[in-house]
Chains A and B, each alone.
Chain A
Amino acid sequence: MKIQPDAAQFPLAFKTVVLAGFKAAKPEVLLNAALMLALLAVPLWAWFADEPFLITLTTRAVIFAIAGVGLNFALGFGGLVSLGHAAFFGLGGYVMGVLAYHAQTYTALLDWPFVIEGSRSMLVIWLVAILLSALLALGIGALSLRTSGVYFIMITLAFAQMLYYFAISWPAYGGEDGLSIYVRNSFPGLNTMAPIQFFAICFVLLILVLLLVKFLARSAFGLALGAARQNEERVQAVGQMPYRLYLIAFMISGSITGLAGALFADLNRFVSPTMFSWQTSGEIMVFVILGGVGRVFGPVAGAALFILLEHSLGGLSDYWHVYLGAILLGVVLFARGGLYGMLTGREAAHD
């Protein structure tokens, strides 16, 4: 979709252009480091203090951050306002659920034309989740990217909703009730049921995903994608098809969010159609916006803030979503650029 290249409306450019646009603005680097350290320190402290709930809470934040980083790649770098990323989050969740369910019941997933067994290995589950999410993103993207603007928003939302109803009406995997898994899936050399070890897995994956996006943003592909977001005509004039750039960006974005979905299902040892719901899509978008669109680490800050709000406001009132809504409204109306925008200056350091 097209977003007008107006820096005031869509603060995505660089604040300081350092030689060749490479080094990020200093305050942002510090903020990134502080954020990652805090995400690491809290569960470590909780581990020593024997507060497993706090570890799980941080793990949630880390997984949400991965989902947000995925959406941010399409939204912040490609300008694709997808309101249907729950499709990938849910698909990842169901990949975990279905594979683990078949492994747990010793049944084959498919008997014909070839046998597919379930799996309890996280590595296998992640791989399948990533591949299937990319494939789904190819399908959804190929159709949705024929349109732009508000059509794109509504269509992505509609496709996610389609999967939601599909999951509800497919009784083999629990329908509306979802699927429970008894034991968390396995990772070589680790006891994944120990909260701190599962946290470590998620944290490392978050770092890997952040590195991936950072590399992508600096690559030839990233340069062309960002150019397409700002000016499609320009990209065509240098011989590139915006549609293709968007489609690949959408696939990368979807597969990252799909991976997050698989982790989320493993965290809860449960998957249900809720993961496909429009609220989930909205929340993933909220992570991105709270943190700051188009910043590599933005969604990490957004997800952490979201969990913090959920935890503190949730203790204050059962109806904490009212406050969340008010805060979100305030951010959109008055603090464009999100947390990162407020702390490091309005415009994103695009590197």
Chain B
Amino acid sequence: MTEPVLDIRNVSKSFGALVASEGINLDVRPGEIHALIGPNGAGKSTLIKQIAGGLQPDSGSVVFDGQDVTALTTAARARLGMGRTFQISSLAMDYSVLQNVVLGALGRRGTVFRFFRPVMRDRELLAQARAALVEVGLEEMQNMRTSELSHGQRRQLEVAVALTLAPKIFLMDEPMAGLGMEGSRRLMGFLDTLRQRAPILLVEHDMDAVFQLADRISVLVYGSIIATGTVEEIRANPQVRAAYLGEEEARS
């Protein structure tokens, strides 16, 4: 077995009496899409924050690329190669689409402390930025103001910015949310090939997408992971069926 890219070891976090993460173990291996599912309020967002930075676990550690990053800031983790997309689009809304991706390319270069060269004439950055836009299909929109993009286009732009970082792992928080059928289908096709470049930790609500895409699935319920396994194992797991899928079926 190859070394995992991301290894979450026994991470716990509580807010007062509320236990958001309880002894969570999870790893993401090269080349895989590892999906994290769970009902609303299971603690998925809290866990993502502890992985990407911004929230310190009470105990346990986050090991990324062989290095303990638990004490590092969000920015430092991003520099080490975590490419994150947000559940709610988090972009510089007054900037053009191209400026947003150039910002990502700058992040990959590592330093923004260049004060005189016009950044929007930097061929290397522009090439990287445009390549990422082509990949997600936004090249026509590059001069549009980001706030004028549709919801789906903003999601695509989020992914493009993560691409420019050339990360060692993608952390994607509900990338399909609100995309619609056609958008979801296209993004799924894209993610399917993306795993070759870097593994993906995918938090997703859309069960069909998860079962189609994921190599492995972890199920988070009330702050604990109750099962981890392949799609078939998860489908067959009675505990998961009871705690999660049962709910879904009951709802539909």
- A residues neighboring B (CB under 8 Å): 5, 7, 12-14, 17-22, 215-216, 218-224, 226-227, 230-231, 233-241, 245, 248, 350
B145 & A13 in contact (Cβ 8 Å cutoff): yes
Minimum CB distance partner of B104 in chain A: A238
11 additional contacts, CB 8 Å, given A220-B119, A227-B100? A13-B145, A20-B98, A21-B143, A22-B120, A220-B114, A221-B113, A226-B95, A234-B91, A237-B107, A238-B78, A248-B113
**14 A-B pairs with C-beta separation under 8 A:** A17-B144, A19-B143, A20-B126, A21-B99, A222-B119, A227-B100, A227-B103, A231-B91, A236-B54, A236-B75, A237-B78, A238-B104, A238-B107, A239-B79
Minimum CB distance partner of B93 in chain A: A5
A191 to chain B: closest CB distance in Å? 34
B157 to chain A: closest CB distance in Å? 11
B86 at interface (Cβ–Cβ under 8 A)?
Answer: yes
- Identify A219's interface contact among B78, B86, B108, B118, CB under 8 A: B118
B94 & A223 in contact (Cβ 8 Å cutoff): no
Could you say which residues of chain A place their CB within 8 Å of the CB of B111?
Answer: 220
Could you say which residues of chain B place their CB within 8 Å of the CB of A237?
Answer: 52, 74, 78, 84, 86, 90, 107, 161
Q: Given contacts A221-B112, A223-B112, A224-B112, is CB(A17)–CB(B145) below 8 Å?
A: yes
Could you say which residues of chain A place their CB within 8 Å of the CB of B78?
Answer: 236-239
Could you say which residues of chain A place their CB within 8 Å of the CB of B100?
Answer: 227, 234
Could you say which residues of chain A place their CB within 8 Å of the CB of B99?
Answer: 21, 223, 227
Report the Cα distance A12→B147, complex, angstroms.
13
Could you say which residues of chain A place their CB within 8 Å of the CB of B237?
Answer: none
Interface residues of B in 73-129 (CB under 8 A from A): 73-76, 78-79, 84, 86, 90-96, 98-100, 102-104, 106-108, 110-122, 126
B75 & A223 in contact (Cβ 8 Å cutoff): no
Could you say which residues of chain B place their CB within 8 Å of the CB of A223?
Answer: 95, 99, 102-103, 106, 112, 119-120
Could you say which residues of chain A place their CB within 8 Å of the CB of B106?
Answer: 220, 223-224, 238
B92 & A227 in contact (Cβ 8 Å cutoff): yes
Could you say which residues of chain A place their CB within 8 Å of the CB of B144?
Answer: 17
B110 & A239 in contact (Cβ 8 Å cutoff): yes
Minimum CB distance partner of B102 in chain A: A223
Could you say which residues of chain B place their CB within 8 Å of the CB of A19?
Answer: 143
Minimum CB distance partner of B107 in chain A: A238
Minimum CB distance partner of B118 in chain A: A218
Could you say which residues of chain A place their CB within 8 Å of the CB of B200?
Answer: none
Could you say which residues of chain A place their CB within 8 Å of the CB of B114?
Answer: 219-221
Q: Given contacts A218-B118, A220-B119, A221-B113, is CB(A241)–CB(B75) below 8 Å?
A: yes
Could you say which residues of chain A place their CB within 8 Å of the CB of B93?
Answer: 5, 7, 13, 230-231
Cβ proximity bits B127-165 to A, threshold 8 Å, 1 near / 0 not: 000000000000000011101000000000000010001
Could you say which residues of chain B place their CB within 8 Å of the CB of A14?
Answer: 94, 96, 145
- Identify B94's interface contact among A12, A233, A240, A241, CB under 8 A: A12
B96 & A17 in contact (Cβ 8 Å cutoff): yes
Could you say which residues of chain B place their CB within 8 Å of the CB of A234?
Answer: 90-92, 100, 103, 161
Could you say which residues of chain B place their CB within 8 Å of the CB of A22?
Answer: 118, 120-121
Minimum CB distance partner of B171 in chain A: A237
Cβ proximity bits B5-18 to A, threshold 8 Å, 1 near / 0 not: 00000000000000
Minimum CB distance partner of B112 in chain A: A224
B90 & A21 in contact (Cβ 8 Å cutoff): no
Could you say which residues of chain A place their CB within 8 Å of the CB of B117?
Answer: 219-220
B112 & A220 in contact (Cβ 8 Å cutoff): yes
Report the Cα distance A231→B86, complex, angstroms.
12
Could you say which residues of chain A place their CB within 8 Å of the CB of B96?
Answer: 14, 17, 20-21
B69 to chain A: closest CB distance in Å? 13
A59 to chain B: closest CB distance in Å? 29
Could you say which residues of chain B place their CB within 8 Å of the CB of A227?
Answer: 92, 95, 99-100, 103
A233 & B143 in contact (Cβ 8 Å cutoff): no
Report the Cα distance A93→B144, complex, angstroms.
45
B53 at interface (Cβ–Cβ under 8 A)?
Answer: yes
A229 to chain B: closest CB distance in Å? 8
Report the Cα distance A220→B125, complex, angstroms.
10
Could you say which residues of chain B place their CB within 8 Å of the CB of A241?
Answer: 73, 75
Report the Cα distance A178→B2, complex, angstroms.
73
Could you say which residues of chain B place their CB within 8 Å of the CB of A240?
Answer: 75, 107, 112
Q: Given contacts A14-B145, A218-B120, A236-B78, is CB(A230)–CB(B92) below 8 Å?
A: yes
A221 & B115 in contact (Cβ 8 Å cutoff): yes
